[in-house]
């Protein structure tokens, strides 16, 4: 309770607050994270971008994994954590969300300022001609045929519009995320194991530039030592309690 009051007080004092979210904010919507003991990587190894480009077998494995993950995404709804952040943005108390997530749940909750560092699984794109389509029909096609789909325009390989391991981030999005992290005075890191770079460097950058750093994550992270406050509780419950206590009404 003391932690919750502290976050509410810092939120009220801050002029520029940024939230940074990882897979942990969406577990309460039923989407598994990657690194928890029951996470996705306890069951399958990720497909690297280089392998996707050069190996038909890797493309097949990629689409197999994505078609399973897509089932989790398709029915998922935003939870309290997503909703509180959207409400804070609407009330002018949060500049926006930088997310590692690809599930689109921040936007579904009503957040407008969302930087998707790792892209979105709601769409697929052609790696040759860059055309994009909604992902659903392509996943359905893969489930029915078990054949990794090709672009109907140029026959290039289709892949979700997400950043795979070994694939460069979108530089414009990264620049915007770096600027937001540099310019804030309160940085909330929510549900990220903070081990994937460069995304995990953002909380450290915010802290170096003088922001307060709050980490809410069930498990320890490598940045706990530099945080002003670490809360090892559920994100949804904690944010809801902060919202209820917030000194200026949300």
Q: Which of 193, 206, 239, 241 binds ligand NAD (CB under 6 A)?
A: 193
Q: Is 103 in the site for ligand NAD (CB under 6 A)?
A: yes
Q: Which of 10, 217, 239, 243 binds ligand NAD (CB under 6 A)?
A: 217
List b or e across 219-234, with b for residues whose CB sees 16 or more CB atoms inside 10 angstroms.
eebebeeebebbbeeb
What are the φ/ψ torsions at residue 45 (nearest 5 degrees)? -85, 140
Q: Which of 87, 196, 205, 245 binds ligand NAD (CB under 6 A)?
A: 196
Q: Is 100 in the site for ligand NAD (CB under 6 A)?
A: yes
In the complex with ligand NAD, the residue whose CB is nearer, 169 or 245, is 169
Return d(Cα 181, Cα 201) in angstroms, integer: 10
Catalytic residue among 82, 106, 118, 160: 118
Residue the block writes with tokens 């045929």? 145
Nearest in space to 23 (alpha carbons), one of 221, 159, 160, 184: 221
What are the φ/ψ torsions at residue 76 (nearest 5 degrees)? -75, 140
Site for ligand NAD in 14-33 (CB under 6 A): 22-24, 26-28, 31, 33
Q: Is 35 in the site for ligand NAD (CB under 6 A)?
A: yes
Q: In the chain, how many H helices and how many E strands?
A: 9, 9
Which residues lie near ligand NAD (CB under 6 A)? 22-24, 26-28, 31, 33-36, 39, 100-103, 118, 191-193, 196, 216-219, 234-235
| Residues with catalytic function | 118
């Amino acid at each position: 309770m003391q932690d919750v009051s502290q976050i509410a007080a810092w939120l009220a004092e801050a002029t520029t607050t940024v939230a940074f979210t990882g897979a942990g904010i969406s577990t309460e919507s039923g989407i598994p994270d990657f690194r928890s003991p029951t996470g996705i990587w306890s069951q399958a190894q990720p497909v690297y971008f280089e392998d996707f480009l050069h190996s038909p077998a890797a493309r097949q494995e990629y689409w197999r994994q994505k078609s399973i993950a897509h089932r989790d995404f398709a029915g998922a709804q935003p939870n309290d954590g997503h909703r509180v952040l959207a409400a804070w943005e609407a009330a002018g108390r949060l500049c926006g969300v930088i997310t590692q997530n690809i599930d689109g749940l921040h936007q579904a909750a009503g957040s407008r300022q969302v930087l998707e560092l790792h892209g979105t699984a709601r769409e697929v794109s052609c790696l040759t001609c860059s055309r994009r389509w909604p992902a659903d029909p392509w996943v359905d096609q893969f489930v029915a045929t078990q054949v990794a789909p090709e672009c109907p325009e140029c026959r290039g390989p289709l892949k979700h519009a997400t950043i795979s391991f070994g694939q460069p981030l979108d530089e414009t999005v990264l620049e915007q995320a770096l600027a937001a992290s540099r310019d804030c005075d309160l940085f909330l890191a929510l549900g990220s194991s903070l081990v994937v770079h460069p995304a995990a460097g953002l909380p450290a950058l915010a802290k170096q530039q003088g922001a307060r750093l709050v980490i809410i994550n069930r498990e320890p992270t490598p940045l706990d030592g530099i945080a002003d406050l670490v809360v090892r509780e559920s994100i949804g419950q904690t944010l809801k309690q902060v919202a209820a206590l917030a000194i200026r009404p949300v």
